Structures are given as structure tokens and as C-alpha cells.
Structure 1
Amino acid sequence: MKQIKTLKIFSFCFVATFFSCNNEEIDESKIDTNEFKTIQVTNHDGKPFSTGNSSETNKFNSGPGGGVMMQAFYWDVPAGGTWWNVVKGKVASWGNAGIESIWLPPVSKAQNGPFSMGYDPTDYFDFGDYNQNGTVETRFGSKTELTSLITTVHNENMKVYADIVINHNSGGQSELNPFTNSNTYTKFNVASGKFNRTYNDFYKNSFGNNDEGSFGGFPDLCHANPYVQDWLWKRSDGVGKYYKNTMKFDGWRFDYVKGFGPWVVNQWNANVGGFSVGEYWDGNAATLEWWCDNANSSAFDFACYYKMDEAFDGDDLSKLSSGDMLWKRRPYRAVTFVSNHDTDQIWKKNLAYAYILTHEGYPTIFYKDYEDWLDKSKLNNLIWIHNNKATGNTSILYADNDEYIARRNGYNGNPGLVVYLNNSSSWQERWVETNWSSTEIKDYTGNSSWQPTTQGGKWVKIQCPPNSYSVWSTL
């Protein structure tokens, strides 16, 4: 038997199957409203998540619900310098589907040369045009192909974000480091001639023994060094400003931000600008909130990610109601996701995507999910729903182990929506309180053919198919 775990909901006695009349009346005057425990999750004015505009143009306009990001790669995409052209060939269809932005892997030359995914950076200014580390092109292609891709993205009125790896470097030559009294691979005389580095630019050095964290034994870049700061975010020809003003990137995904203080991203954003999101891999929503506030940046909502895994794969949708998530604390800072190049542990992805694409935050679609593993037409439908109907702050209407119902309360004339998630093996029905009085509504997923009319007091019965979802809004 189903056990209700978080919300005590007034029940109606209906001896009926899901074929019951969806326009049946209830006497609202007899409802004990104290039995309905609607949870108001967020209380802001309802504006959508904003990633800002490019400094050169105002052509990026999201729909009423905000934007959707595409992670335009996966781990070990085909080598051989073809990936930029593969992505370029998909940009138009992604834009037509409602994708607002794409996130690219690290674009510069790395130690593993033609085989590197870019997370072991050597030369930040070699985009595939210098012969070093065993190759001219990067794994993904040439600088010409990269700039052509970026231009194509912008021509489709979309944004492009660069993956920035500034915690560590790799591929330097050995040199004597007096601070460790040993040889370290910290001498970087790079082919571009820009941002050469020595042992004093990495910990352990004259600025200290360490910072917040190191990664994989790679030389740990010292952000306390003014020389490093100059080349990363202060100089007009440094990494950040060159990527933004010359390469025309619109924003940044910062890799492994646990490895350095949030002030680093804060300073980058203050000096360079553009949208930013940090990979702070932590399931504690309060910790993510702390990092966002101090970095003045968005962060991937790992708290939401882990709660979705507990809810959908752990068969307890009440976790979506009770669970603490970044989007509940900072809806304008949370970048939500179902899987990415590093982690892919949620099995019931159809429910997870229905969740993030109807809830607050900046939802991200993973390339493999969209192009290979899931039903693209269903994802496109959810993207449309997000862009056109997922507006306003959030109220949770019902949650137990099998069912979850939430309401987006609308913004600026847009009506919002009611989303119904069903993790059980049978059709389910619920009476819910909407924001719409005497109004005909429908399920915009097409999973239900009902088109009920809400009652004068805004109540209506909706339904949801097994192991699936429905999303209701006005016609």
C-alpha cells in the first residue's frame, strides 16, 4: 500500500478508474482547507532565470520561462579534430527546438594533445593552431573550425559558454623548485608565447603551501600571485578577456571550483563579465548557496541531482518535496541537470527531465541523452513547455512515494503550469487547486486527452499515466 510521507492531503472517495469524468463537480464549501498542505517553495516576484545579454548585442531573447542549455559534448567524443564541425551541424536544429545556449568542452591545447578532452590544460591560447603536445589541432578541431562554430551559434541567436579549467595545469617541463627542494613539472614555455609560467605560479611557492584544493597530482595554479591574476582575468589580452572579446564566448563553466576560493570566480566575473556557473560538486544545498553568494555566480545544483536520484530511482517522490535544493534557496543561481560527462546515475530520466524542465533554475540537457539515448521529440516537447509555460514561483501541491504535483504560479500575464509526476505502474488522478477560475486547461505533453474546466474556486481533477508525467496549463 502507498505510504504518504510528507503531505497530508484531503482525499475524495471516487470509485472510478482513470476513465472517470474529468469535469465532475465537488462542493468546495465543504472542503476543509486546513487539510490541504500546499507548500510555497519560493516567494520571489516570478521573473525567469536570466543569463544576461552579450556585451555586443541584445539579440539573445529567452521565452517567458527563460532558457535551456545544451551540454554539447560527452566524455571521449570522437578524436580526430571533427567535433567542432559535428556540433556546428546540430546548432540550427537545437535552436529550432528552443535551446538558448551551448556549453563546449575546454577549447585550448592540453597535455594529451590530440586525445585530450581538455581538462589538462597547457596553453590557454592554443586553440588548434600551434604544433605542440604532438598535434596542431586539438581533439575537437582547429581554431578556424572553433570560430566558425561560435559564429554559427550566434547567428542562430544562441549563446556559447567555454569550459574554463584554472585550478590546475599539465604538460610543463621539469625544473628545480626551491620551495619543494625537488623537481616539479611547472615550467611552461608555451607555443603561443602568452602566459608562460614557472614554479612560482604554482603551490608550493612564495605565496604559501596550498590553497583550497589540488587535483590529480597536477601542478596547482596559484591565484594569489598577481602575475596569474593578470593573465587570467585582468589583462586586456589575458585569458578571460581574450576569450570573451576576441573568441566571442558569452560565458563560463568553471571546472572544479572546490580547488580554489570563490573569490577567484568573483574577481573573474567582475573583471571579465558574462554568465558563469561553477562545478562545486557537493550535495549540500547550503554549501552551494554559500559558494554562489561568495563567487557571485551560478552553480550546478548537485543537491537537486542527488534528490532526484533518491526520488525517482529510490521510489520516493516525497524527496522532491522535503529535499533541500539550490533552486529552492537561490532559484536565480541554480543550474539543474540530469546527467553530464562526469556523472550519470539517474535511470528514470524521463521523470527527471520533466522535473527540471518544469521547475525553477536553468535546466541543462546532456548531449547523449538528447541525441542518442532518450526520445528527442519528448525532450523537445518539454523544452517548449519550459520556454513557454514554466513561469513564476513554485508551490508544491502534493507528494507521496509515487506521486508529485507542483504548480508554477505564472508571471507577467503568463499563466504558469501544474506538473504531475507519477512513478507508479498505474494511472493516477488528483484534485488540485490551480490559479485559474472557470478555465479550460489541457495536458501539453499529450499524455492525457482530458481538457477539464476548473471550477469557480479553481479546483480541477487532473490525471497522469503510469511511470510518466503530465503538464497542465490554460489553452
Structure 2
Amino acid sequence: MRILQKLLIIIVFVAFSCSTENAIEITKNQENQIVSIDKKVAKRSGLKTIGTGVMMQAFYWDVPAGGTWWENVEDKVQDWSNAGIDAIWLPPVSKAQNGPFSMGYDPFDYFDFGEYDQMGSVETRFGSKTELLSLINSAHNVNLSVIADIVINHNSGGELEPNPYTGTPYYTDFNPLSGKFYRSNADFHPNNVRQSDSGVFGGYPDLSHSQPYVQDWLWKKPESVAKYYMNEIGFDGWRFDYVKGFEPWVVKEWKNEVGGFSVGEYWDGNAATLDWWSSQAEVSAFDFACYYRMLDAFEGNNLNRLNDDMLLKRNPRKAVTFVANHDTDEIFNGKMLAYAYIMTHEGYPTVFYQDYEEWLNKERLNNLIWIHNNLAGGSTNVLYTDTDEYIAKRNGHNNDGLIVYINNSNSWKERWVETNWSSKRIKDYTGHSGWQPVTQSGKWVKIEVPPKSYSVWSTK
């Protein structure tokens, strides 16, 4: 199939090169196409800046099948925007091997968004291309950015073919009905390019990012996955799946080629490792170090663990924090306390769909989102910790900052703390405490917090 494509390209090129007039016409068409794409992107100039609010993970594992998910999410984007969400993260949108049942993490045809009859269905699990475009348009209309979940380590659904490099046949013959990004054994590991690879996933064919053909189709050429998703489908940013499976330069080159907010899923609880990867890739990373320290703190009943190392403490501009996601949801008893932590500290916090829409108190989550967007600014000083209590101060940036008091015990707690506010009346913006004390001239004040709860204090 690859040879036929190249022959066709050569024939077309020779035919057009015989006429200077035709060549000029091609150039004009390309310029018009670029202008058209620029206009599409320009229409998104009114979007909220990603990172100034809160991200919504707009799915969970095994959302209802049947092609209704895009419509379900579209119905919610207005309310999410009103609550202070600035971006929604969608699951992988292209057709995968398991067709109508797949969550998209076993990609087959990167350019089938629910319009080709292959892999057992026309629509994806989530819906049709028309419904996806409608959702993205509605999100943009309420100033929300849309983040694409991109799976570029492994592919599935290929047919069996001989592998001349290993002598063993494998499922690497990909012939997608979209007619784009055909793949063969030369595009996967192991192949004739003997470059080390970070790791395979689940036994799937593993894309070789060192191959120019793969680079072209993923991010370089005008009709690449990256450029098509951004310019034609309307995505504004990227969540890179399983980045342990390839080198950081891949994400860096993708980001440098097309732009957009980018965050990688480097599943590792070591803050230094996350800092290394995000620095090498020059993008953000999910703060798994923060996640595991919160797990220790709230499920392990030791809030002293919140003093430990996290990406948000090393490089807050690169830290995307979360309490739960589609892969891991282990914080149960202290989940609202964990949300209070990430919404009052550095980093770009994420809300998990089921926490927001099904499991937790939406009013309280909206209150924490408001606190994050309006009060949580500046550097952090930890004022007090023990196994049950945690108190920290945000020093403010274009605002007065805040003090957060988290209590994991079964009784009310109160403590004197030193604030940044002299002779100021303050209040608990969560409404959990009725106190409205005045800070002393020396900035000290006594604050309180209910059992198994939190309070957030700032000037009135």
C-alpha cells in the first residue's frame, strides 16, 4: 500500500510540474488553505486561558456505550463554564480496535471520529464525528478549551503480516478506511532502525517515533494527526497517554510544531522524576507525587505526608494536580479534603467527572473552584501539621491570599495562626465556620474547622 501511495504522489508531481501555471495555482490553494485554518483558530481567541481555572476530566472508565457521550457532555459545558472550569479533557476520540465498546486507548484509525464502518461500528463508543464537532463548538461558545487525549505509543487492530526484521509475523498491517496513516512493520518496534524504546504496552504494536514517516503523520506534515486535530476538529491542547513508552523529545517536538497546552501522563510517584520529565519535554505533567502523598495523608491518616516532595512544590507551573481519574481512584474517606488541598495550593487542578456529577457535593466543589480561581494565589507557607491537622497560607498574587485549615480528626479543632493581614476582619469562605474574627495588629488570629472537614479563610 505504501509503494502505491508513493507512485501516485510521483505521478501527480510530474504531471503538475509540467505546467508552471498549474504549480502557481497549487501554491495559491495552499495559501488559501493556511488562511482558512488561521481564521478557524482565530475564532477561539475568546477562550479562557488554560491553567487560570480548573480542568474537567469529562469522562470516566466505561462511560455508557451507545454513542451518546458527546451529547451528554455538550449538555453540561455551559454549567461547567459558569462554575469556573476553563478546559475539558475528552477521552481518545478516534476509532479503536474494539469499535463501539472501546474507550479509545487501543487506537486503529486516527482519522475516524465515528464516520467509517470499521472495527464493528460506524460511531465510536462516544458518538459520531458530527456530534464531536458539535460538542467542541459548544464548548468554544462558552469559552472552554478542549483537550484531546492522544495515544501515540501503541496501536491495535492491524492485520497479521511477515516481519523481515524479526522473522516472526505480527499484527502491524494497518489499512484504515480514512485512507490516512497506513502503517506496516517498518513503522513499529522492532524494525530496521535499532533505536532504544522506552517500553511496549500490553503487547500491542509499538510505534517507532524515530521513523520519519511516523513523525510526518503524527505531527509534522500539514495533514498530520496533530494539525488535523487542532485545525480541523478544533482541539486546543493535548493530554499525552503513557509517556513512559517513548522519549520526552517526542512530546517536545509535537508541542513545538503545533502548540497548545500539553500535559503528559508519566505515572510515577517520585517528584524528582516528574520534574525531570516535564523539563525534558517542556510541558506539564500530572502530579502523581501529590496524588500518592494525599493518599498517604487522607487514607493513611497522616497529614504530615502533605509536607513531602511533590511536583507542585518543585515546579508549580508544570504540575497538573488531581484527586481521581479514570485509571486510579483510591482516596475515599478524605476525598473532599483532598480537593480542598489541590484547590488551595499551587498547580493546575483537575476535577473528575464522577466526583463532580455523581459522587460528591457539587455545591461544595463549586465553592472550592471559586476559591481556587479568586483567592488561591502566590507562594505557600505551611503553618502547622500533625497527623490530623494541616494549615497552610497562600501569600496572594493580585489578591489577599488565603489560609486553608484541613482537619482529618473526629472533633472540632482551632488554632492561633499568623496571617498576612493586620487588623482585618476575615471569614471562612467555605461557610463551614460562622466565625468572622478580626486579626490582631500583629496579624495573629484564631481560626477553627469542623471534624473531617476544612475551612478557607481570607479577608472579608
Q: Report the TM-score when normalising by structure 2.
A: 0.90
CA contact (8 A) 2:448 2:455 kept: yes
Q: Is 2:251 the partner of 1:277?
A: no
Q: Distance in 2 between matches of 1:216 and 1:445?
A: 45
Q: Is 2:305 the partner of 1:319?
A: yes
Matched residue SS, 2:356:
helix
Query: Residue 70 of structure 1 aligns with which residue?
Result: 56
Instruction: Please state how far the C-alpha of 1:58 moved relative to its aligned partner.
Output: 3.1
Instruction: Please state how far the C-alpha of 1:221 moved relative to its aligned partner.
Output: 0.3
Query: Residue 381 of structure 1 aligns with which residue?
Result: 367
Query: Residue 59 of structure 1 aligns with which residue?
Result: 46
Q: Is 2:401 the partner of 1:416?
A: yes
Instruction: Please state how far the C-alpha of 1:56 moved relative to its aligned partner.
Output: 4.9
CA contact (8 A) 2:153 2:246 kept: yes
The percent identity for this pair of structures is 68
Query: Residue 426 of structure 1 aligns with which residue?
Result: 411
Alpha-carbon displacement from aligned partner over 1:245-279 (angstroms, at most 9, x marks no partner):
11110100000000000000000000011001100
Q: Which has the higher helix share?
A: 2
Q: Is 2:393 the partner of 1:404?
A: no
Matched residue SS, 1:177:
coil
Q: Is 2:229 the partner of 1:246?
A: no
CA contact (8 A) 1:203 1:210 kept: no
Q: Distance in 1 between matches of 2:335 and 2:42?
A: 36
Q: Is 2:330 the partner of 1:345?
A: yes
Query: Residue 232 of structure 1 aligns with which residue?
Result: 218
Q: Distance in 2 between matches of 1:305 and 1:177?
A: 42
CA contact (8 A) 2:44 2:140 kept: no
The aligned runs of 1:85-124 (5 Å cut-off) are 85-124=71-110
Instruction: Please state how far the C-alpha of 1:61 moved relative to its aligned partner.
Output: 3.4
Instruction: State the aligned residue count.
Output: 419
Q: Is 2:313 the partner of 1:328?
A: yes
Query: Residue 32 of structure 1 aligns with which residue?
Result: none
Instruction: Please state how far the C-alpha of 1:209 moved relative to its aligned partner.
Output: 6.3
CA contact (8 A) 2:108 2:176 kept: yes
Which runs of structure 1 show a deviation greater than 6 angstroms over 4 or more consecutive aligned residues? none
Instruction: Please state how far the C-alpha of 1:160 moved relative to its aligned partner.
Output: 0.6
Q: Distance in 2 between matches of 1:134 and 1:126?
A: 13
Instruction: Please state how far the C-alpha of 1:208 moved relative to its aligned partner.
Output: 1.7
**Unpaired runs of at least 5, structure 2:** 1-40
User: Residue type of the partner of 2:45?
Assistant: N
Q: Distance in 1 between matches of 2:48 and 2:100?
A: 37
Matched residue SS, 1:100:
strand
Q: Distance in 2 between matches of 1:61 and 1:407?
A: 27
Q: Distance in 1 between matches of 2:404 and 2:221?
A: 48
User: Residue type of the partner of 1:264?
Assistant: V
Distance 1:55 1:203, change over 3 A: farther
CA contact (8 A) 2:48 2:145 kept: no
Higher relative contact order (CA 8 A, sep 6+): 1
Q: Report the TM-score when normalising by structure 1.
A: 0.87
Query: Pairwise CA RMSD of aligned residues?
Result: 1.2
Q: Distance in 2 between matches of 1:365 and 1:312?
A: 18
CA contact (8 A) 1:66 1:386 kept: no
CA contact (8 A) 2:65 2:101 kept: yes
Q: Distance in 2 between matches of 1:186 and 1:56?
A: 39
Distance 1:169 1:251, change over 3 A: same
CA contact (8 A) 2:429 2:456 kept: yes
Query: Residue 165 of structure 2 aligns with which residue?
Result: 179
Q: Distance in 2 between matches of 1:459 and 1:209?
A: 60
Q: Distance in 1 between matches of 2:195 and 2:401?
A: 52
Query: Residue 444 of structure 1 aligns with which residue?
Result: 429
CA contact (8 A) 1:204 1:210 kept: no
Q: Distance in 2 between matches of 1:207 and 1:416?
A: 54
| 1:260 aligns with one of 240, 246, 261 | 246
